[in-house]
A and B are shown apart, each in its own frame.
Chain A
Amino acid sequence: MEKSTAQTGVTQASFWTVGRGAFALALLAAALFPVISGSTFHFHIAIMICLAIIATMGLGVIARVGQLSLCHGAFVGVGAYTSMLMVMRLELPFMAGVVAAVVVTSLVAALIGGPLLRLRGVYFVLITFALNELFRLVMLEFPGLSGGSSGIANIPAASFGSLVLDEKATFYPLALISAVLVVALVALVDRSMIGRRFSAVEENITLAESTGIATARTQNLAFIIGSGIAGFAGALMAHYIGFLSPETFHFELSVSYIIMLVVGGRLALWGPVVGALILTPLPEFLRGAMEFQHVFYGVALIVILSFLPNGLVSLPDRLARLGGRK
């Protein structure tokens, strides 16, 4: 009996090592794919994946304290508009725009986080949904600021001094490095005391409070970090696409981030990466008939929530356990 348990342990451990190695290789292959193919379109998709990874990582941080924000798309929008206004109206450099985007979104999150995070479950979801719509409608009402529904075109490309990243192949390294840095940042948070507080609050908020954790402050901090990351994604998006319209930040954008997070793995570090990698290129397979995309999303969500509640990242673990049971 002992022997067989030990054997299973070895099998699981080797399964994990192989699994991790394969995952790392798959990520590397995915990152290098556009470089090898050289296709501008593949660069575009890869950039969109990086931007989705960054934004969904932010949503993941908020999910780590047990909240599901339906206004994440609006925070991406706040970041996008802030950076655009800094660069186009105040003629500041791109980096200043990005920093301002992160600062402003974090400040907005800090301001509204207090009263907002008192709500839990469906109430929080509903109020964040309303906030997302509010952001879009307010932007439509102030065309002087946002360009109104005609949007703002010709937003300058990202640049560092004389180095202008106006080609997809030149913007891609920036998007990739940004995504890697955000994943690293979230990994650091996960490993720190703050990360452990996040987990405690997510697991059981009453218990966490009884052990002396300042739960409200902890939730606020997660909301600020997550929204700040969303603002960063928004700033990059504005300077990459070059066109902004309030309609881009429709609540469907927030929903798409949620789907990526849930499909990938809500609380796992690599969940947003897996979700974005699979779901961002997906519409391209259905580009001729987008209505099927919603059907697919619906079915994928139901299947994953039923069989893999911890997302696709938990699949190797499930398989290893199944293998171990045999």
Chain B
Amino acid sequence: MKFKSTLALAVGAAIAFSAPPTVAQENKTLKVGALVTLSGAGASWGRGMLEATELAASKYNEAGGIEVGGETYDIEVIAYDDSYKANEAVSAANRLVYDDEVKYIIGTVGSAPILAIQPITEKEGVITMTLGFTSEALSPEKPYTFRPNLTTAEVAQPQIDWVVESQGIETVGALFPNDETGEQIAKDVSASYERAGAEMSAIEFFERDQVDFVPLLTRIMSEGVDAIELDGNSPETAGQIVQQARDIGFEGAIIRTGGPATAEIVNVAGAEAAEGMFVHAGLDPSKDSVNAYITEYEETFEHSMNGFSPFFYDGANMLFQAMQEAGTVEDTDAVRKALESIESYEGVLGELSWTGEDRYGIAHQIDAPFYVAQVRDGKEEIVATCDIEGCE
């Protein structure tokens, strides 16, 4: 026993002292946190955001690292799961900010989690890129928070105007999750339908974990609605609603106004049930850059891509570009200002800029083109091209 440990010590010492001195100068490490939902409902959004960040980081890492202010950094993505819960997000944010000492966080997915972590991130000057749809996420008092995806507030009106007019819809029923995101979307969407000349005549709220929607759908159908709106539901939940609505004989239009989720909906509901659905499409599949991203994503991660993913790929790349323009990874105030001043960025999605001064009081909301598509044989077919002003 004694001999063995002496031998181990000797071998250990020999290895330690014989290690060759490092020749090449090693890159520094730039840590980026991904505080996203990786379990439960909303996990597909979280995965899409995390993997977009990893893909953007790997591009720089494969090219030898990202050069900022004369230094080269390898980008390390640190992913933590918040399970879509505010208190979990607070613990994870504490860990990212104070233990891992990150200055950039991609996340959160949910609205309550972003509102819960902002006291920490804004105080410590940590730049966050959230998916959270709440209008409260962006404000002049929160200068370090950006939103690289479109929310219902931006896309609802143009798309709803177009669908209501082209399909002659008068009454709409809807199911929303009973939380901040759901309530916010219910308010926005109802107002948009009213402005478009239709009425949201049946609204039901449910808990995010729910999987049986037949009772709620039966109640909605008894109101004789022309269409069912699915905005605000996670892709998996939306798929279940589509399938169960068709199963119990709903023949009207099914509309999903915000949030790209078609691939997952078709996956869950099946192509037959999803046929003819009107969906918001953040991506134009006829664009080469979009196709290239989807192909690369699916080859790298071996599963289908969530439609929010390219927003965060572009968002992460804009953030990296801002660091390079500011010439620092430490001074997040300089990076924030450089990020704000990026205009007409050529991303996967097309030309991107920041907007939102009028709506939120700060231009930290992405301005990107979007589309209305109809599902045909399980695929999106673009039927209208939109911007914040309207669809054609």
B-contacting residues of A (Cβ < 8 Å)? 39-42, 44-45, 48, 140, 148-151, 153-154, 168, 241-243, 245, 247-248, 250, 283-284, 287-291
| A150 adjacent to B79 (CB under 8 Å) | no
A241-B87, A245-B86 are known contacts. Are A153 and B134 too (CB-CB below 8 A)? Answer: no
Contact of B112 among A150, A154, A241, A287 (CB under 8 A): A150
Q: Can you name 29 A-B residue pairings with CB atoms under 8 Å?
A: A40-B94, A40-B99, A41-B99, A42-B99, A44-B95, A44-B98, A149-B182, A150-B136, A151-B115, A151-B116, A153-B115, A154-B119, A241-B87, A245-B86, A245-B115, A247-B85, A247-B86, A248-B85, A248-B87, A283-B88, A287-B80, A287-B92, A288-B80, A289-B81, A290-B38, A290-B39, A290-B83, A290-B88, A291-B39
CB neighbours of B94 from chain A (8 A): 40-41, 44, 168
| A140 adjacent to B178 (CB under 8 Å) | yes
CB neighbours of A149 from chain B (8 A): 112, 178-180, 182-183
In the bound complex, how far is the Cα of B111 from the Cα of A41, in angstroms? 23
In the complex, whether B363 has a CB less than 8 A from a CB of chain A is no
In the complex, whether B118 has a CB less than 8 A from a CB of chain A is yes
| A41 adjacent to B95 (CB under 8 Å) | yes
In the complex, whether B91 has a CB less than 8 A from a CB of chain A is yes
In the bound complex, how far is the Cα of B119 from the Cα of A154, in angstroms? 7
In the complex, whether B90 has a CB less than 8 A from a CB of chain A is yes
In the bound complex, how far is the Cα of B83 from the Cα of A141, in angstroms? 23
CB neighbours of A151 from chain B (8 A): 86, 112, 115-116, 180
Q: Quote the shortest CB–CB distance from A166 to chain B (angstroms).
A: 9
CB neighbours of B97 from chain A (8 A): 40-41
Number of interface residues of B (CB under 8 A): 33
CB neighbours of A242 from chain B (8 A): 119
A149-B180, A154-B119, A290-B88 are known contacts. Are A247 and B112 too (CB-CB below 8 A)? Answer: yes
CB neighbours of B81 from chain A (8 A): 287-290
Q: Quote the shortest CB–CB distance from B237 to chain A (angstroms).
A: 17
In the bound complex, how far is the Cα of B95 from the Cα of A283, in angstroms? 12
Contact of B95 among A150, A247, A287, A289 (CB under 8 A): A287
In the bound complex, how far is the Cα of B217 from the Cα of A243, in angstroms? 35
Closest 7 pairs between A and B when the two form their complex, measured CB to CB: A40-B98, A41-B99, A149-B180, A41-B98, A291-B39, A44-B94, A243-B116
In the bound complex, how far is the Cα of B97 from the Cα of A276, in angstroms? 24
1/0 per residue, CB under 8 A from A, across B107-121: the answer is 000011001101100
CB neighbours of B111 from chain A (8 A): 150
A151-B180, A287-B80, A287-B81 are known contacts. Are A245 and B116 too (CB-CB below 8 A)? Answer: yes
In the bound complex, how far is the Cα of B178 from the Cα of A288, in angstroms? 26
1/0 per residue, CB under 8 A from A, across B59-103: the answer is 000000000000000000001110101111011101101110000
In the bound complex, how far is the Cα of B207 from the Cα of A156, in angstroms? 30
In the bound complex, how far is the Cα of B88 from the Cα of A242, in angstroms? 14
CB neighbours of A289 from chain B (8 A): 38-39, 81
Name the CB-closest residue of A to B123: A166
CB neighbours of A40 from chain B (8 A): 94, 97-99
| A153 adjacent to B118 (CB under 8 Å) | yes
CB neighbours of A154 from chain B (8 A): 119
CB neighbours of A283 from chain B (8 A): 88, 91
